[in-house]
Each structure stands twice: as C-alpha cells, then as structure tokens.
Amino acid sequence: MNPVSDKRQMSSGFSLPRHVGIIMDGNGRWASARSLPRFEGHRRGVEAVRRTVRAASDLGISYLTLYSFSSENWSRPEQEVSDLLGLLKLFIRNDLSALNKQNVRVRVIGSRVGLAPDLSSLLDEAQDLTKDNTGLTLIIAFNYGGRQEIAEAAKQLAIRAVRGEIDPASIDPAAISASLYTAEFPDPDLIIRTSGEQRLSNFLMWQSAYAELVFLPIHWPDFDRAALETALTQYGTRERRFGGVVPRNAMTGS
C-alpha cells in the first residue's frame, strides 16, 4: 500500500507512526547472560509482548506487527522449536480473552502449509474471536518469511495471468502489494529491532521499502514502554520523503 501521512502526535510533539513492526531479537542472549536456559529467555519474551501490546494500544498506534516465528526458525533445535510453539499456544489460550476485552484485533500472517491442525485452529480462533474489534490491530507474523511471501504473490499472479484473469502487462507494484499476506494493512512506518543487530532478517521485505529503521541495544525480554517510546521519539525526528524532496518552507519553517 502507498505511504500515508499520519498527523497524530506523541505528547512530546513528535508524529506517531500508524504501523510499527518489531523484530523481537535477543531472547537467547538475554538468558545466556544470566546463565539461564534459553526457554526462560523465550518465556520472558512473552511477557515483553504483553507489555508492548498494552503500550502500543495506550499510545494510539493502529497496527503492531510482531515477528514471532520465521520460516527459518524451523531449523533450530527440535526442543527449542517445541518450546517456542508451546509458548505461542499458551499466549493465545491465556491472553486471547484479555486481548478481546482490550478491543485488540488479532491477525496472523505467514504460511499455514504443514502446520499442525491444532495450531492452525488456534490461530483461526484468535482471528475469529477478535475480528470485529476496532482498537489496535495486532499482526502476528508466524511461519513467515518476506522472500517466500513475495514469491508466493508472484506465483499467484502468474497463475491468474495463465488463466486469462489478468493481463501480465497490468502487474505493477500495487498488484503485488495486493497479493501479499499484508494486503489489508498499511505498510509499516517504523521497524524496530532489539538486541543491537542491524538487519531485517527477511521481515516485511517488500512492505518496509520506505519504513524508518530503529535498532535498539537491549534484548527483547527487557523491552518495555520506555523502550518503545525511545524508538518512537527517534522516528519522530526523521524526515520521511518517500523518494521525494522536503519542501524548503518545511525545512525552514517559513
């Protein structure tokens, strides 16, 4: 979707992003630094998710996308994958009612191919229960990969072209955007990554073309409202030109 100007502001006077994406990184390193098992890092990471959802809702952010499990994460040790899936199930079962009461709408993006039926049903339940809510839209990127998403969109467009449903010459960026998992959402204005790493790791590759990127040195289990506000403040100082030029009067105030 095309970038949309948003005039909402934080109390500091900075503009507020409409859509924030977060790469939740550093659970394992947080645990290692404390001589704790990796599972404890992931468990504490779930607590950070709860804090962040509440903070984003309170601050007036409309869309929050969390990179919960990438399509590459299946290559991790079997026990760790099992732990991560177990925590996701536990989060949905324990927090879904509270999210619904908070007027949060839950959406899940990513491939469902090969998922266990009980997990797929649980994801559907989260979406169905909250589909009419009008507050924060919480987008959970699960079994998600940006390159795979783009490839799948291209494949679907190619199938439609072969069937004669669309003219190949009509395929443009808008057509690709409309074929992605995120077609119903605006592109992210801000991408945050924790743990100090400075890369996107296959997260919203197409959608983040014009997003502002903020990399924070803290590990995800330590992320809280103050950290979110730090990232939002950095975002508020950026000049978003979308490939254009900032008008001189906007720069000088005249």
CA distance linking residue 178 with residue 223, whole number of Å: 33
C-beta neighbour count of 209 within 10 angstroms: 13
Active site residue 249: no
> What per-residue confidence (pLDDT) applies to 41?
95
- Report the predicted TM-score, pTM, of the whole model to 2 decimal places: 0.89
Digit-by-digit pLDDT tens for the chain (254 residues) are 444 444 455 555 668 999 999 999 999 999 999 999 999 999 999 999 999 999 999 999 999 999 999 988 888 889 989 988 988 888 898 999 999 999 999 999 999 988 889 999 999 999 999 999 999 999 999 999 999 999 999 999 999 999 999 999 999 999 999 999 999 999 999 999 999 999 999 999 999 999 999 999 999 999 999 999 999 999 999 877 666 666 555 555 44
Task: Report yes or no: 110 and 71 within 8 Å, Cβ to Cβ.
Answer: yes
> What per-residue confidence (pLDDT) applies to 1?
45
Domains, the chain, in order of start with CATH, read 19-145+188-238 (3.40.1180.10)
The tokens describing 129, both together, are 């229960």
Catalytic annotation, pick one of 6, 27, 58, 73: 73
- SS3 string, the chain, reads CCCCCCCCECCCCCECCCEEEEECCCHHHHHHHCCCCHHHHHHHHHHHHHHHHHHHHHHCCCEEEEEEEECCHHHCCHHHHHHHHHHHHHHHHHHHHHHHHCCCEEEEECCCCCCCHHHHHHHHHHHHHHCCCCCCEEEEEEEECHHHHHHHHHHHHHHHHHCCCCCHHHCCHHHHHCCCCCCCCCCCCEEEECCCCCCCCCCCCCCCCCCEEEECCCCHHHCCHHHHHHHHHHHHCCCCCCCCCCCHHHHHCC
C-beta neighbour count of 188 within 10 angstroms: 27
Catalytic annotation, pick one of 25, 83, 95, 189: 25
> What per-residue confidence (pLDDT) applies to 8?
56
Active site residue 100: no
